[in-house]
Structure 1
Amino acid sequence: MPSDTPAPPLNLIVFAGFKRIALGSTADVLAQLRERTDDTPYLVFDEQTGQLLDFDVHNRAGTVTPASGAEPHDDAPRGVGRPKLGVVAREVTLLPRHWDWLNRQPGGASVALRRLVQDASRVNADRDAVRASREAAYRFMTAIAGSLPGFEEATRALFAGERNRFEALIDAWPPDLRGHLQKLSAAGWSTPA
């Protein structure tokens, strides 16, 4: 079933050292970076996912790509499917008994798999949001704050869901960095039931 909800626009956040120097859409950030007069190196991140991006300020097309070494997002359709409906064919490896069960379901294997995935995504939405928030904060922290005091302990606190300890450990970190980490990790503190 295709999603009628468009993907949110990509917003970028840029840090030179530990200071935020730009924030906004790709076009806004391009304009802000082109106006810079200093040559301090900077890092460009996806504001929501914390992913480090390759960003060429001289790139007139205004495109961004994941930085080398960053996890790839392979959203390109492969093989057959129903592209007009948003259905993409991919390979799934299951045991014969799983295929037998799927094929006995109303509508066949594809319908059963889509229904199972939809149900699981609905049931696990809160847990997925917590995990995504923590992973975004971790990606950002690793790229920019790995040399700061308390980094390893802050990482442990983040994944342990210990908000007060995490906040205490990053309290001495530069304000722009700390503020963005608090924003990225905000959804990571509510533990689903």
Structure 2
Amino acid sequence: MNPGPEAAYIAFDGDRRIATGDLREVARAAREVLDRRKHAAILIFDAVTSGPIDIDFRGTVADVEARLPAIASVPTGAKDAAPSAPRGPGRPKLGVVAREVTLLPRHWDWLAQQPGGASVALRKLVEAARRTGEDGHRVRRAQEAAYRFMSAMAGNKPHYEDAIRALFANDPVHFEKLIAAWPADLRDHALNLAETAFHQASREPAG
């Protein structure tokens, strides 16, 4: 998996976290551990998605850094700083596209009774549906990130399968109890990833 721009990474030596930060910092710390212990079990992850990061550790620290993918440094707000076309007076252009919509008479009757009329009501319904769908995608991505990390690092830890079930059942209290006895660094990162999933899920509208 190729790391993305401005991503944060995390490295483990077995159950012990040895570094977090940008890829260069994490790779350097991992290489220093390997210098001390040739057979250290180093795993590096994207700290957000938990995707594994493969690094060639042959040679010196400088050799390792030279082989790292280039990561562009994009200043915060750079896109916003680009000049925009001057806006003329009057109502801003909304990019509205007129297309045919086929509904039953009762649907048209209901839409006609809504504030702003049928067009406004339809736009609000579409935007609400989009937000609900996007929230669901965010929950799934967060759950998958936690699951990916736990599968790679904690498959042999106590209550692993029950913890996975609690993760996907959106049960943070039970999840935290199940992984309480795991090694501290591993447990804390799993909790951090899972809390993102739980937080997103708690924001989803009921029913």
Give 1 or 2: higher strand fraction. 1
Quickly say closer, same or farther: Cα 1:152–1:38, change in 2 above 3 A: same
2:152 to 143, 149, 153: 143
Structure 2 residue runs of 5 or longer lacking an equivalent are 59-63, 71-96, 100-122
SS at match of 1:179: helix
Q: Deviations over 1:84-137 (max 9, x none)?
A: xxxxxxxxxxxxxxxxxxxxx748xxxxxxx9xx95653423222222111100
- Does residue 161 (structure 1) correspond to residue 164 (structure 2)? The answer is no
Q: CA RMSD in A?
A: 2.5
SS in 1 for 2:67: coil
What count of residue pairs does the alignment treat as equivalent? Answer: 139
User: Which residue of structure 2 aligns with residue 173 of structure 1?
Assistant: 182
Q: Which residue of 2 aligns with 1:20?
A: 17
- Residue 11 of structure 1 aligns with which residue? 8
CA offset at residue 179 of structure 1? 0.6
Aligned 8 A contact 1:129 1:187 in 2: no
The answer to whether the Cα contact below 8 Å between 1:16 and 1:43 also exists between their aligned partners in 2 is yes
Query: Higher Cα Rg: structure 1 or 2?
Result: 2
Instruction: State the secondary structure of the residue aligned to 1:182.
Output: helix
CA contact (8 A) 1:134 1:158 kept: yes
- Match of 2:55? 55
1:8 is displaced (CA, Å) by 5.6
Cα distance in structure 2, aligned partners of 1:141 and 1:178: 9
Q: SS state of the match for residue 52, structure 1?
A: coil
Verify: 1:134 aligned to 2:135, yes or no: no
- C-alpha deviation, 1:53, in angstroms: 2.1
Aligned residue type for 1:179: D
Q: Please state whether the residue corresponding to 2:19 is helix, strand or coil.
A: strand
In structure 2, relative to structure 1, the CA distance for the partners of 1:121 and 1:18 (3 Å cut) is farther
Structure 1 residues 122-158: Cα deviation after superposition (integer angstroms, max 9, x where no partner): 3423222222111100000001100111000000110
TM-score after normalising by structure 1: 0.64
Q: Is the 8 A contact 1:52 1:143 kept in 2?
A: no
CA distance in 2, matches of 1:106, 1:43: 53
Q: Distance in 1 between matches of 2:21 and 2:167?
A: 26
What SS is found at the alignment partner of 2:157?
coil
Aligned pair partner of 1:124 in 121, 130, 133:
133
The offset of 1:38, in angstroms, is 1.6
Is the 2:172–2:195 Cα contact (8 Å) retained in structure 1?
A: no
Tell me which protein shows more helix as a share of its residues.
2
